[in-house]
Structure 1
């Protein structure tokens, strides 16, 4: 199928909240602890707002949230500067690295999905807002469980990362796939979906396992159905800012979407 000029050639996944770390929990405590060490209180909800961006830009975006910016100004006598972000980022990386092993479990259904994609002859790519240092911890843990993609593009690997498409362009080169309409990007964040959209790919948004619901798999399963539905609707509203082509609950629901995209490609359709 990779050689088919009409059909799909590859699926490109985000990592945390999409294929691993249900609820995208690993970075959250690190962001809260990081700002607390500077005398500035942020909440988990604050920390989730810029999720999907590379982590340097994520820290910068947190410092620009109105309440956080005011608290930083009051504590430090000035706005958060790029030099401050550099300093915080250097401390954030080892904090996040320490948290990753506690949240490295694959989302249910990922190994079976990988096998199905390989059977179809599809390449498997990946991009992430994590840097290489963090991924050096996470990638081997994921591989042990059955997720080992054909490439990995991290924050810092390209001059402009999410929501710019350069990480996807590098993925096309790594995988040897083109044109973009033969590629699907799967992500649980607006910046990650916009990365795929800007590159010209089909985009599939994830609700239940992602940042926008923000709870562990165990807590999600224990949650009353009405609350699940409420959180899911909220996630869909926020992810709609990226105008995804499809929205699913977890990657376990992806295969029927790929079938639908294949039919649309055969019919001559393109994404968006």
Structure 2
């Protein structure tokens, strides 16, 4: 038994270093509604279906209080829908600019394919958003074998496991033990754990780290290590089986998992 399928998240994992496309828009739509939110608050639910992300932010005690103070009442489902419509239109305007593959992704995918591994993907973006992302990422050399969006599983995105199961079905994965899910948010890790597959957090370029490429590169080696350890702890606390700093480490990690599976089958 060995790993046959690797399922990648998109923004912050495969493309869009630091996962900035959605974050910037979350900050803007709340500001337009008269409620200032912090970068940390905007990032906390990252990886979820975007309307669920907005709902989760509105349910945060501080934001809830501020919304009530500014609008004179608690938020309603109508407010959620209004914010989401604004989010969708603003994101669609800027999305194409955030589709550059992150360093080592293309080479790693090529390397995995050469060993017979199939490449799946899941996302917190909807079908229409992903049309933009997949088209532009493909032009830049990144194209997984399969994609599932929350739209395709009745809007039950992360932390539900259904997008992973749909990938497994389409790619012919026989066992959850032979599947690795890799992502850059706690939602990705929860999705993997709920599906019973290997959960791997990628650190550099992740939403959990929350730095742009320029910001990360401008740090000293010591400062970079502090940021790496901070994100690593977040992934480990949520239950990730493994973490890697960059995609360059993924083939060796898969080898490690394969060796463990080999021993398991001998026992």
User: TM-score range with shorter-chain normalisation?
Assistant: over 0.9
Which of 207, 216, 220 pairs up with 1:220?
216
Q: Which residue of 2 aligns with 1:234?
A: 230
Query: Where does residue 185 of structure 1 map in the other structure?
Result: 181
Once the two structures are superposed, what CA deviation does each residue of 1:173-226 show, in whole Å capped at 9, x if it has no partner?
A: 121212111000001111111111111111111111100111122221121122
Task: Tell me, in whole angstroms, the C-alpha distance in 1 between the residues paired with 2:77 and 2:179.
Answer: 35
TM-score by length of 1: 0.93
2: CA distance, partners of 1:125 / 1:64: 32
Taking the aligned partners of 2:5 and 2:61, their CA distance within structure 1 comes to 40
Q: Please tell me whether residue 196 in structure 1 is matched to residue 188 in structure 2.
A: no
Corresponding residue for residue 27 of structure 1? 22
Distance 1:187 1:247 in 2: 10
C-alpha contact 1:110 1:146 (8 A) present in aligned 2: no
2:117 equivalent in structure 1: 122
Distance across 2 between alignment mates of 1:55 and 1:268: 39
Q: Secondary structure at the match of 2:182?
A: strand
Aligned position for 1:52: 47
TM-score, with normalisation over the residues of structure 2?
0.95
Distance 2:255 2:63 in 1: 44
> Aligned residue for 2:133?
138
Structure 2 residue 252 is matched with structure 1 residue 247: no
- The answer as to whether partners of 2:236 and 2:242 remain within 8 angstroms in 1 is no
Once the two structures are superposed, what CA deviation does each residue of 1:49-73 show, in whole Å capped at 9, x if it has no partner? Answer: 1111110110001111121111111
Cα separation, 1, equivalents of 2:195 and 2:120? 14
CA contact (8 A) 1:190 1:241 kept: no
CA-CA distance at 1:242 after TM superposition:
2.5
Structure-1 separation of matches of 2:235 and 2:190: 10
Find 1:96's aligned residue among 69, 87, 91: 91
Checking the alignment, whether the CA contact within 8 Å between 1:18 and 1:250 is kept in structure 2 is: no
Cα deviation, residue 103, structure 1? 2.0
Q: 2 CA distance for matches of 1:167 and 1:96?
A: 22
Q: What corresponds to 2:31 in structure 1?
A: 36
User: Residue 267 of structure 1 aligns to a residue in which SS?
Assistant: helix
Counterpart position of 2:259: 263
Please give the residue correspondences for 1:167-178 in structure 2 after superposition, counting only pairs within 5 Å: 167-178=163-174
Matched, 1:158 2:153: yes
Q: CA RMSD in A?
A: 1.3
